[in-house]
């Protein structure tokens, strides 16, 4: 290993250190964006600890030693690597945009060979300090000579992509656009890359046993390059591309790390002849010195400009050659059939292209067609092709026309008509007729499938209860696919994690959307929160399953993880393991023939499930106003009017400029607000100031109606505001006693009229019933009595809370304080939600609650004569919030825990010297009469407290003589006494 010498610097130039750190931070940001390999390595290692850097480096170190000891190190052993360039463009003609000219691709291949073999013309510019370390890797990259089907190729595939650009997180999508088996071909994808990345590469793995499942990400193995920095491009931004991005990423592909180790002076790149560096280099600073040595800024594994790069080192060569000779899918490249010319036969007739592996049509009519090609050297003039449908010979075409060597012919069969709803297999078999035999038969057969889909009426609901019935699976790779589970369908991704990038499809029936006014699709799903969640997409087809081109949903936008990660096969067990996504399909309302394809893509995650698929009229109207919540209001009236803010939201599809708010009492309109001044955009909310005069009755309920008018007529949504004239005052201390009907002057405010706060006898607590409330952002309030704090200097609130956080749902708990004598709640004193509120985590209903004690100092608010508190739960249909031991106590800090004894009070220390502490813990607050007596019964001290409950009181007993005394407490309910001793 290299020796590392540390040097410490102290900056004393005012803002100089800030500028230095700012530039360093900016430099690091640029470095992170240029090459995504560090992120890929971090992602892989977190997912598969068995592929850790430590284990890989230990393996490669041992292999390097063995290689050094063998005769390999002295041999000149040129190896060839077959390359295929997948040019993924946006439909441009060749030579425009990302659809690069072949000449530019040719030049990039030349640059790779020059740089890897020290044939680059700028090799003479290597600094003298490093020139003796320069190495040739003796690796030659060549265009693949035959494709995976054994046909001749030029090593370039051009394909329009499904996305305009790709980030490294979407590399499975990119590779699925075009891919050749990574065991035999070095895949190089050239595309428009997102997020500033110039490229990335998949890092090699060891050949140690036990790594098959973790390392077999063959479907993404290769190198990815941004087309702008591909080959020579004098117009590339930041720096002029000279093709060194490919050289850099190819170094990663063969196991080289960034020269600065992606860390600092203490982080190694595991090559002994590359100096340590504290960070990457940019530009071309050849004098850059960090870690007490000159940096090798010209190394291809740094971030310098292309024109500055010119060297790989001897130990980098040793590392790369070790990988080439030992790592799976690196060693196999050197033995690939792609290096060989395709086999040449005198007579070789083959099938090349069919319509597609799966197809369909609305009418059931299908015209089969296929291409045949003369792959042999001799012309052929007698051949036939048979078509079998579901195993039965349907048609034979015989040809007596010459097909020259290399010539292709497109063949059309008679129109087929499939009337029954089913899947049909169409098998083609090519035969050479006459006196000669076909010398290669493995390219003479192909199969495709036609699916005649069922028509289904709308509205439609499919529950996957042990069947898929009118749905069809498309399993093109013949690997894992959709399976039927209890109450759901799913894909066993967990057992097949090696098949990264594989797509599994299932096709719906055909629907006529002209029968719905405002269609909406929803599906119920379940999957755990893996670090790389499975990709789930839904595509629409307007030609009955022939083409699925319209993406209507993707979880790249909407996260659909529902449960916490598990280290085994995930099976949904609890209500919260499932969730629903709703998709607005209003744009399809004029389409007569629509079917859907649910596509789940293997991204090394756990199993994915769907239990229900539904299409129905959307509950969302064109013009509709919803009432979201009240703010700053107290429904407990003393002498004041009810006033506050009503939060309303445009929950319709259209922008609204006129609507009204009506307030009713016992069905009679008492006030309305006509609002037509401000445009309310769809999805936007706003506040409306509301003032309601004090009602005549003591208890009642206002109905608040938000009304709009449109083509659907009048649409009104109601919100209910219960009220009560409640001016009963309580003195602190006070404890919430909420055991069924007796709420001890506490008030529940439930504006949606759903199931609000209630007492749970099993838990001796109040609970929020969030698990039963499905209304979005529904609220429930629990409001305290009016507290008289006019004679209180210090006041505290303590309570215990329990909340089990589900993965997807997030309840919120807040406490508001009214410091205007109880008129309105405007002061937020406590707010926690989700993870911060949680005392435990899980989708299962807890068998035992986990509690956390909370304390809030209310002393800053006792300057007012009266205060109220409101406890508000905002629901998300997740787990319930539980509260107990809600207590107001006199004091500025929480009292110590009460001893585990069944006594109304305890005193300590005992014996006492100067102070005696009295800790009360009564069930019910009431007046208390205290006495301290000596053993003869003489009263030394007596006083009365108007209300006692849970106080913590200290007495000064320093003036008492040594001896035994009695503390006596008497209330209307009991009398108790305790002895204590004074000891000086």
> What is the pLDDT at residue 19?
32
d(Cα 173, Cα 577) in Å, to the nearest integer?
A: 27
> What is the pLDDT at residue 764?
86
- State whether residue 171 is helix, strand or coil: helix
Q: Is the peptide bond before 545 cis (omega within 30 degrees of 0)?
A: no
> What is the pLDDT at residue 522?
96
d(Cα 512, Cα 455) in Å, to the nearest integer?
A: 8
Q: Which of 439-443, 570-574, 715-719 has the highest mean pLDDT?
A: 570-574
Calculate the dihedral angle through the C-alpha atoms of 627, 628, 629, 631, rounding to the nearest 10 degrees: -100
> What is the pLDDT at residue 585?
95
Provide the number of structural domains found in the chain. 6
In a domain, 873, yes or no: yes
What Å distances lie between residue 463 and 247, 333, 486, 507, 615, CA to CA? Answer: 53, 48, 11, 15, 12
> What is the pLDDT at residue 977?
93
pLDDT digits (tens, 9 = 90+) for 581-592: 999 998 999 999
* 41 and 164 part of one domain: yes
- Domain hosting 796: range is 729-889
What count of residues does the chain have?
984
* 398 and 500 part of one domain: no
Residue 319: phi, psi to the nearest 5? -65, -45
Q: What CATH number is given to the structural domain containing 955?
A: 2.60.40.1930
pLDDT digits (tens, 9 = 90+) for 598-642: 999 887 788 999 999 999 998 888 888 888 887 777 788 877 788
Q: Are 432 and 438 in contact, with CB atoms under 8 Å apart?
A: yes
Confidence of residue 324 (pLDDT cuts 50, 70, 90): very high
In a domain, 377, yes or no: yes
* 109 and 54 part of one domain: yes
Q: Are 862 and 789 in contact, with CB atoms under 8 Å apart?
A: yes
Q: Are 85 and 347 in contact, with CB atoms under 8 Å apart?
A: no
Residues contacting 603, CB < 8 A, separation 6+: 172, 500, 501, 530, 532, 533, 534, 535
Residue that is written with structure tokens 């600073």 in the block: 285
407 catalytically annotated: no
In a domain, 949, yes or no: yes
3-state helix, strand, coil in the chain (%, to 5): 15, 40, 45
Q: What CATH number is given to the structural domain containing 180?
A: 3.40.390.10
> What is the pLDDT at residue 775?
80
In a domain, 213, yes or no: yes
Structure tokens at 54: 């430590």
289 bridge partner residues: 294
Q: What CATH number is given to the structural domain containing 686?
A: 2.60.40.10
pLDDT more than 70, % of the chain: 92
Rounded mean pLDDT, 437-446 = 92
Structure tokens at 703: 């109905």
Greater confidence, 374 or 176? 374
Ranges 13-27, 70-84, 133-147: which has the least confidence: 13-27
In a domain, 447, yes or no: yes
Q: How many CB atoms lie within 10 A of CB 337?
A: 19
Angle CA 449–451–455, to nearest 5? 175
Chain mean position to CA 210? 29
* 754 and 812 part of one domain: yes
Q: How many CB atoms lie within 10 A of CB 635?
A: 21
d(Cα 716, Cα 712) in Å, to the nearest integer?
A: 11
Helix residue ranges, H only, 876-925: none
> What is the pLDDT at residue 457?
96
Q: How many CB atoms lie within 10 A of CB 883?
A: 24
Confidence of residue 698 (pLDDT cuts 50, 70, 90): confident
d(Cα 944, Cα 931) in Å, to the nearest integer?
A: 9
> What is the pLDDT at residue 797?
94
Q: Are 858 and 732 in contact, with CB atoms under 8 Å apart?
A: no
* 421 and 521 part of one domain: no
Q: Please name which of 842, 886, 598 lies closest in space to residue 744, comparing C-alpha atoms.
A: 886
- State whether residue 24 is helix, strand or coil: helix
In a domain, 805, yes or no: yes
* 682 and 749 part of one domain: no
Residues contacting 927, CB < 8 A, separation 6+: 944, 945, 946, 947, 948, 971, 972
> What is the pLDDT at residue 738?
63
The mean of the pLDDT values for the chain is 87
Helix residue ranges, H only, 95-187: 102-116, 128-131, 171-177
pLDDT digits (tens, 9 = 90+) for 861-883: 988 889 999 999 999 999 999 99
Residue that is written with structure tokens 């608040």 in the block: 704
* 496 and 610 part of one domain: yes
> What is the pLDDT at residue 949?
86
d(Cα 444, Cα 376) in Å, to the nearest integer?
A: 13
Give the residue from 858, 889, 920 where a domain finishes: 889
Structure tokens at 95: 């030579």
* 735 and 826 part of one domain: yes
Catalytic residue among 43, 62, 240, 249: 249
Q: Are 562 and 578 in contact, with CB atoms under 8 Å apart?
A: yes
Write out 392-451 in H/E/C secondary structure. EEEEEEEECCCECCCCEEEEECCCEECCCCEEEEEEEEEEECCCCCCCCCCCCEEEEEEE
In a domain, 29, yes or no: no
pLDDT more than 90, % of the chain: 55
* 678 and 555 part of one domain: no
Task: Work out the burial of residue 544: count CB atoms within 10 Å of its CB; fewer than 13 is exposed, 13-18 middle, 19 or more buried.
Answer: buried
Q: Is the pLDDT of residue 520 over 70?
A: yes
Q: What CATH number is given to the structural domain containing 563?
A: 2.60.120.200
Q: Are 355 and 405 in contact, with CB atoms under 8 Å apart?
A: no
> What is the pLDDT at residue 14?
34
d(Cα 109, Cα 672) in Å, to the nearest integer?
A: 76
> What is the pLDDT at residue 58?
86
> What is the pLDDT at residue 215?
53
pLDDT digits (tens, 9 = 90+) for 207-232: 766 554 445 578 889 999 999 999 99
* 847 and 781 part of one domain: yes
The crossing angle, in degrees rounded to 10, of helices 53-69 and 314-326 is 100
Q: Is the peptide bond before 733 cis (omega within 30 degrees of 0)?
A: yes
Chain mean position to CA 681? 29
In the 8-state DSSP scheme, what is residue 115? H
Rounded mean pLDDT, 707-731 = 84
d(Cα 29, Cα 39) in Å, to the nearest integer?
A: 13
> What is the pLDDT at residue 740?
52
d(Cα 956, Cα 502) in Å, to the nearest integer?
A: 79
* 484 and 583 part of one domain: yes
Give the residue from 657, 684, 714 where a domain finishes: 714
> What is the pLDDT at residue 750?
76
In a domain, 291, yes or no: no
Instruction: Decide the pairing of beta strands 713-725 and 747-749.
Output: unpaired
Calculate the dihedral angle through the C-alpha atoms of 8, 10, 15, 17, rounding to the nearest 10 degrees: 10
* 388 and 487 part of one domain: no
Helix residue ranges, H only, 564-701: none
Greater confidence, 66 or 788? 788
Q: Is the pLDDT of residue 17 over 90?
A: no
């Amino acid at each position: 290993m290299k020796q590392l010498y540390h040097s410490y610097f102290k900056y004393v130039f005012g803002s100089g250190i800030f500028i230095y750190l700012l530039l360093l931070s900016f430099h690091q940001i640029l470095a992170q964006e240029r090459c995504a390999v560090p992120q890929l390595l971090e992602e892989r290692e977190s997912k598969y600890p068995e592929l850790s850097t430590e284990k890989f480096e230990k393996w490669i170190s041992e292999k390097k030693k063995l290689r050094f000891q063998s005769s390999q190190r002295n041999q000149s052993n040129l190896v060839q690597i077959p390359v295929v360039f997948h040019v993924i463009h946006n439909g441009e003609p060749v030579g425009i945009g990302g659809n690069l000219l072949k000449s530019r691709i040719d030049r990039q291949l030349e640059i790779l060979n020059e740089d890897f073999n020290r044939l680059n013309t700028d090799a003479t510019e290597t600094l003298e300090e490093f020139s003796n370390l320069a190495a040739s890797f003796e690796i030659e990259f060549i265009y693949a000579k035959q494709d995976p089907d054994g046909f001749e190729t030029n090593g370039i595939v051009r394909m329009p992509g499904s996305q305009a650009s790709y980030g490294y997180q979407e590399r499975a999508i990119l590779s699925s656009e075009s891919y050749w088996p990574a065991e035999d071909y070095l895949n190089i994808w050239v595309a428009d890359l997102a997020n500033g990345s110039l490229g990335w590469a998949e890092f090699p793995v060891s050949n140690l046993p036990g790594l098959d499942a973790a390392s077999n990400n063959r479907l993404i193995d290769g190198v990815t390059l941004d087309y702008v920095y591909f080959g020579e491009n004098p117009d590339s931004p930041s720096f002029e591309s000279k093709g060194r991005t490919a050289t850099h990423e190819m170094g990663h592909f063969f196991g080289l790390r960034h020269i600065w180790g992606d860390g600092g002076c203490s982080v190694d790149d595991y090559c002994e002849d590359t100096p340590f560096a504290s960070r990457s280099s940019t530009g071309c600073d050849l004098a850059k010195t960090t870690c007490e040595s000159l940096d090798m800024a010209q190394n291809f594994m740094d971030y310098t400009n292309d024109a500055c790069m010119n060297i790989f080192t001897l130990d980098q060569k040793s590392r790369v050659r070790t990988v080439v000779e030992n790592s799976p899918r690196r060693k196999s490249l050197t033995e690939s059939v792609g290096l060989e010319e395709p086999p040449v036969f005198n007579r070789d007739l083959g099938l090349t292209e069919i319509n597609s592996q799966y197809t369909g049509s609305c009418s059931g009519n299908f015209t089969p067609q296929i291409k045949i090609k003369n792959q042999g050297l001799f012309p052929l003039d007698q051949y036939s092709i048979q078509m079998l449908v579901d195993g039965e010979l349907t048609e034979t075409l015989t040809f007596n026309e010459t097909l020259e060597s290399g010539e292709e012919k497109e063949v059309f069969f008679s129109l087929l008509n499939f009337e029954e709803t089913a899947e049909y297999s169409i098998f083609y078999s090519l035969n050479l007729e006459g006196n000669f035999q076909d010398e290669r038969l493995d390219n003479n057969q192909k199969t495709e499938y036609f699916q005649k889909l069922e028509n289904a009426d709308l509205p439609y609901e499919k529950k996957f209860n042990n069947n898929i019935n009118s749905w069809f699976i498309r399993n093109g790779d013949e690997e894992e696919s959709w399976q039927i589970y209890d109450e759901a369908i799913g894909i066993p991704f967990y057992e097949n994690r090696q098949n990264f990038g594989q797509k599994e499809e299932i096709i719906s029936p055909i629907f006529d959307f002209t029968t719905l006014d405002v269609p909406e699709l929803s599906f119920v799903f379940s999957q755990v929160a893996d670090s790389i969640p499975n990709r789930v997409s839904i595509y629409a087809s307007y030609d009955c399953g022939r083409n699925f081109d319209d993406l209507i949903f993707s979880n790249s936008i909407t996260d659909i993880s529902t449960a916490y990660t598990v280290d085994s096969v995930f099976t949904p067990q609890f209500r919260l393991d499932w969730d629903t996504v709703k998709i607005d399909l209003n744009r399809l309302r004029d389409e007569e023939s629509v079917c859907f394809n649910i596509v789940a893509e293997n991204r090394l995650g756990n199993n994915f499930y769907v239990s229900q698929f539904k299409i129905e009229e959307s509950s969302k109207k064109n013009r509709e106003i919803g009432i979201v919540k009240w703010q700053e209001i107290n429904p407990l009236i003393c002498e004041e009017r009810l006033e506050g803010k009503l939060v309303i939201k445009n929950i319709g599809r259209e922008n609204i400029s006129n609507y009204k708010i009506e307030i009713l009492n016992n069905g009679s309109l008492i006030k309305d607000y006509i609002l037509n001044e401000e445009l309310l955009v769809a999805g936007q909310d706003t506040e409306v100031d509301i003032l309601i005069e004090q009602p005549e009755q003591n208890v009642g309920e206002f109905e608040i109606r938000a009304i709009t008018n449109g083509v659907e007529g009048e649409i009104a949504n109601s919100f209910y505001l219960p009220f009560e004239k409640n001016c009963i005052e309580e003195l602190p201390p006070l404890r919430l006693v909420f055991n069924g009907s007796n709420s001890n002057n506490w008030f529940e405010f439930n504006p949606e009229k759903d199931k609000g706060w209630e007492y749970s006898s099993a838990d001796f607590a109040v609970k929020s019933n969030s698990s039963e409330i499905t209304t979005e952002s529904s609220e429930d309030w629990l409001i305290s009595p009016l507290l008289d704090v006019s004679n209180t200097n210090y006041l505290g609130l303590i309570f215990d809370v329990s909340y089990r956080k589900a993965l997807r749902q997030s309840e919120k708990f807040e406490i508001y304080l009214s410091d205007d004598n109880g008129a309105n709640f405007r002061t937020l004193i406590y707010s926690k939600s989700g993870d911060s509120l949680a005392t435990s985590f899980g989708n299962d209903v807890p068998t035992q609650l986990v509690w956390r004690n909370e304390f809030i100092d209310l002393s800053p608010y006792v300057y007012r004569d009266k205060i109220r508190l409101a406890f508000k739960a905002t629901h998300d249909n997740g787990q319930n919030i539980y509260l107990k031991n809600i207590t107001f106590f006199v004091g500025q800090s929480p009292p110590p825990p009460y001893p585990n004894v069944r006594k109304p009070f305890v005193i300590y220390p005992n014996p006492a010297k100067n102070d005696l502490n009295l800790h009360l813990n009564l069930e019910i607050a009431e007046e208390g009469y205290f006495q301290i007596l000596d053993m003869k019964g003489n009263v030394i001290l007596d006083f009365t407290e108007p209300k006692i409950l849970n106080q913590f009181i200290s007495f000064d007993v320093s003036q008492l003589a040594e001896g035994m005394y009695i503390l006596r407490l008497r209330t209307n309910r009991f009398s108790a006494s305790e002895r204590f001793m004074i000891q000086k």
